[in-house]
Structures are given as structure tokens and as C-alpha cells.
Amino acid sequence: MKIKSLGLLTLLVLVALAACAPAPTPVPTAAPPTAAPKPTTPPEPPKAPTVAPTTAPASSASSVASGPTATRPPAPATATPRPPAVTAAPGAIKVNFWHHLSAPEQVDMIQKFADEFNAKNPKYYIVPSFQGTTSGMPKKVNAAITAGSTPDMVTGNPGDLFDYALSGAMVALDSYIKDSTDGLDPALLAEMSFKLPNGQELFFDIGPDGKTYGLSVARSMNVMYYNIDMLKAAGFNNPPATWDEFDKICAAVTKGDQYCYPATASSMDTSAFAAWVFSRGGTYASADEKKATFDDQAGIDTLKWLQNMAKTGWGKIPSVTSRGDQADFGNGKAAFAFGSTAGLPFFQDAVKGRKEGPFQWSIAPIPAGPKGKQVVNFFGPSIGIMKTTADKQKGAWLFLRYLLQKENQAEWALRLVYYPASKSARDYVLSLSADQVKATNARVASVFEQFKKGASFVPLGLREPTAAAWQGPRATIATMLTAVFTGKSSADFTATDPEAAAKEGVQRVNKILESYGK
């Protein structure tokens, strides 16, 4: 698998951004429940995790080479997994499930799901195993593929799953999905089928061969965070619906220590760039994802906007070197930030910690350009099944199907601050009371109004390229954004003018795409 190292982005941040880029938005943690939520009753009260995390857990994104940076946190501390509550029945078929969910309550959630499934399906025995963040898992999985000792099912970004599929290690899920006895319920299948404007499915990972290699239980989205009080003080009662309105607000709020947009590694990354291009009506990539296309007018206009942010002072590099976008937004300096909805509780923490007291804030879709529309960019991991034996594959599928039950989708979503794959599960989550949400994840309860607002953005969702070959170019795109914002060339990227940078960026990305697998 052609995966570019983190060295390029690290050098870029140190040289171009003067070590100011923060760690990306982390995924919140909470105490685990003792039982899965029931359809008509709230989740049971939480119990304390065995080990408190010292940093945010990994969730929906991988390394620069492996997935969206908008939700990619630093390497997490993990909880001590609790022992399985169910003993394997004699002769049970063991199904090894490698996952990246590291926070104490997430590890506990996976084990709880396994216990429930194992109790109801004694023929199989699910064995969950934390295998590192999504940046590290691909290395382990590829090593296992080489050694011929793969797990039976894995979590991973779509591009990673497609990469494993190219090596012949993944099982196409289509026959399982459509099986007349053990397939997905037609109603659930219809709910999960959400086609994007380019025909791509949002919750099904369909490879270039037309086969499905992954299913998502829930996904997060890139959105715009905004300071309600700051906008109102400047005479604006609503968040900007267009980029022209965004600029007008920036001009009005930028004064003294206040400014508009914090340029950090998490708010000026490839996922944000994709959303900005989409919102201006751009294509970003060809329909078959074999070519980059962000050198069109939408891409150029996006880079012109970014350059203007720096020239006007509306955009600044935060002085805080760790999670500076959250810090400057939380202390009332920055009017906006772009990031994942998975970071909602962490933005709330920053706002609550403000010395002058908290302020009102919320989220909105990405503003629209003259030829575009408001959008959000979806990302997040999926679950795939690896080629092992027919019995193990069947057990893995039945467990995946179990995870897609409405209440399980809902709990998964609340644990990770994601949006469930099916409409019925989303509706179920939104129908919960604050106390019910608090019983599952108190941190989500504190931002439940913002979370519910984000659910209304689901119909606006788009996805950046998910093909395996697109994982490597992410660092190049991040380098391009930094070159344009700072106006500084480097050995890794020479152009700083928007039009020239878009052209160079596409050329560099296409070269990487063409060399993939060779």
C-alpha cells in the first residue's frame, strides 16, 4: 500500500506555520453504560471507566496518508478492557474483531455488544481487540495480510478497506446484505441508502469494481462553528449562508484581539478544503476518482479566499500551539472554526473554560459560493469483513448486522458523537431526553442542542474521494494550503499564488494517483 509518511506534514508545520498547528479535533469520551439502550427506555446509568484517558481517543480518521484530518487526534491512552461477560460455548466459532476505538467507554461498548451477541448466538464468539488508532491499524492489517493471519473483521477508513480489497483480502458484502434469510431488513437497507450528487453512497463503501467492502454504523461531518454573541454584537443575527456574508462578518468582527478564522492543521486541512470546494460548486475529483480537478474555478476561488484571509488579517495562526482553533474560539478571539462534529464537546469545554464566562455558540453548514450551495463533508470509519473461512465470515456478518440495529447504532453514535447511518436511528437519538442522553454520554448531553442541529445537515452531505489511491495525496494538499496561506514556498511546494498553486497541487496529486500500486 502506498502510504506517505507524516514527515512531510510535520516539516511543513514546523517551517511554514512556525510550530503553530494544533492537534486535530479529538473525539469526546464518556462513562460506559451497563446495558444497551432499549427502544422504549433510556440507557442505564453509566459506570466509571477502569482507566481515565489522558488524551482524546481516535475515532473517525487516520494519519495524513490514511484519512480525514478533521477528526484525527493524537495517539490516545486506552482503557483496560474489561473481561468478557460471556464464556464461549464448546465448539463456538471464534471471530476476531480488530478495531480502533480506544476510549474507555468505547472499548467497553464494543465488549458489551460482543457479550450481547455471543449470549444470543452461541455458535459464534466475537473477540474484540483494540489495535491502535486508524493511523496505525493499516500497518498491522497489511502485516497480517502478508503473514496470512488476518483478523475476521476490521474497522477502517473506506480507503484503507479498499486498499485491503485490492490485495484480495476483503470479502464483498453484497451477497450478505441481500441474503433472503440473514441479510439486512429491506426497510433498514432503504434507510441507509443515501446517494450523494455524484451517485456515491454515504454509508456503503462501494469499490471501483462496484462491490461493497464496508458499512458504516455512523459518520461525522465537517461543519462551521460560530460565536453567536460575537456575530450579534457586530450586527449579524444569523450565521453566514454564503461566502460573501462570511467575508462581511470577518470585516466587522476583526478588531483588537478578535479575528475571524484560526488557520490550524485541523481547520485548514484537506477535508475542510474539499468542503470549501464543494460549497463553491467544484468537483474536487473526477467521478471515477482517478484525477484531481480542484484546479477549476471553484478550487482557485477557494485558494483566493484563503489567501485573502491571511492578507486582511481576518485569518490568523493562533498563538496556542495545541488545538489552537478550539482555544481561540473558546476564549472568544475567533468568530469561526471549521471542524468535525465529533469535536462538539471539546469546543464546549473550551467555551466553558473562558475566563470572562461562556458565550452562545452553534454550528452551521459550510457557506455557499455563487455557483454552489451549503454543504457538509462526511467522513468516518466503516467495518469490513476479511477473507478467512465461510463460518468466520458468516459470524462476522451477523455481528455487523447486529451493530446496525437501531438502538446499537444510536449508542455507537452517542459514544463517538457521530450521526447514525439509518434515519430511524437518527430519529431515535433525537427523540431522547437530555437525561437519557446524559445516561449514555454526559458530554454529548452538554452539546445536545448543537448535535441535534447537525442532524438537519445530513441531507447536505458530500464525501471527499474515498479511493485507496487518494490517501497519499492528503499531505500534498495540506502543503498547498499552507503555502498559499503563509505565502512561503518550500521544497515540497513552490507556488503560493492561488491559480498557480491549484495547478501545481493537481499535478502533484495526479502524479501520486498515477503511481499508486506501481
pLDDT 10s per residue in the chain (518 long)?
A: 443 333 333 333 333 333 333 333 333 333 333 333 333 333 333 333 222 222 333 333 333 333 443 333 333 444 566 789 999 999 999 999 999 988 888 898 999 999 999 999 999 999 999 998 877 899 999 999 999 999 999 999 999 999 999 999 999 999 999 999 999 999 999 999 988 776 788 999 999 899 999 999 999 999 999 999 999 999 999 999 999 999 999 999 999 999 999 999 888 889 999 999 999 999 899 988 999 999 999 999 999 999 999 999 999 999 887 789 999 999 999 999 999 999 999 999 999 989 888 999 999 999 999 999 999 999 889 999 999 999 999 999 999 999 999 999 999 999 999 999 999 999 999 999 989 999 988 989 999 999 999 999 998 989 999 888 998 899 999 999 999 999 999 999 999 999 999 999 999 999 999 999 77
The C-alpha cell 441531507 sits at 459
Amino acid at 251: A
Do residues 58 and 76 make contact, with C-beta atoms less than 8 angstroms apart?
yes
CB-based burial, 350-369: b 16+ in 10 Å, e otherwise: bbeeeeeeebebbbbbbbbb
pLDDT at 403: 98
Please report how many Cα atoms fall inside a 13 Å half-sphere around the Cα of residue 461, on the Cβ side.
Answer: 25
First to last CA, the chain: 10
- β pairing state of 218-227 and 361-364: antiparallel
Q: How many CA atoms lie within 13 A of 305 on its CB side?
A: 25
Spatial distance between the Cα atoms of 223 and 19, rounded to a whole number of angstroms:
25
Report how far apart, in Å, the C-alpha atoms of 94 and of each of 114, 151, 363, 405 are.
Answer: 12, 10, 44, 22
Would you call 436 exposed, middle or buried from its count of C-beta atoms within 10 A (0-12, 13-18, 19+)? middle
pTM of the model: 0.83
- What is the C-alpha separation between 259 and 37, in angstroms, rounded? 43
Beta bridge partners of 285: 292
What's the rounded Cα separation, in Å, for the pair 478 and 29? 28
DSSP secondary structure letter of residue 470: G
Note every long-range contact of 451-456, with CB atoms under 8 Å and residues 24 or more positions apart, other chains counting: 451/341, 451/344, 451/417, 453/362, 453/363, 454/221, 454/223, 454/341, 454/344, 454/363, 454/376, 454/419, 455/419, 455/426, 455/429, 455/430
Count CB neighbours of 105 within 10 A. Answer: 27
Q: Are 314 and 254 in contact (CB under 8 A)?
A: yes
Range list of H helices, 71-171 = 104-120, 137-147, 158-166
Q: Is 129 within 8 Å of 155 (Cβ atoms)? A: no
CB hemisphere CA count around 153 (13 angstroms): 30
CA torsion angle 427 430 416 353 (round to 10): 160
Give the separation between CA 326 and CA 207, rounded to whole angstroms. 36
Distance CA 10, CA 92 (A): 47
Which cell is 157 given? 477508513
DSSP-based three-state secondary structure for 361: strand
Distances (CA, A) of 66 to 26, 57, 230, 377, 413: 17, 17, 36, 17, 22
pLDDT at 80: 63
Any idea which residue has 431488513 for its cell? 185
227, β-bridge pairs: 361
Contact (Cβ atoms closer than 8 angstroms) between residue 173 and residue 213? yes
Closest CA to 155 of 165, 145, 144, 141: 141
Place of cell 461477560: 85
At residue 81, the pLDDT reads 67
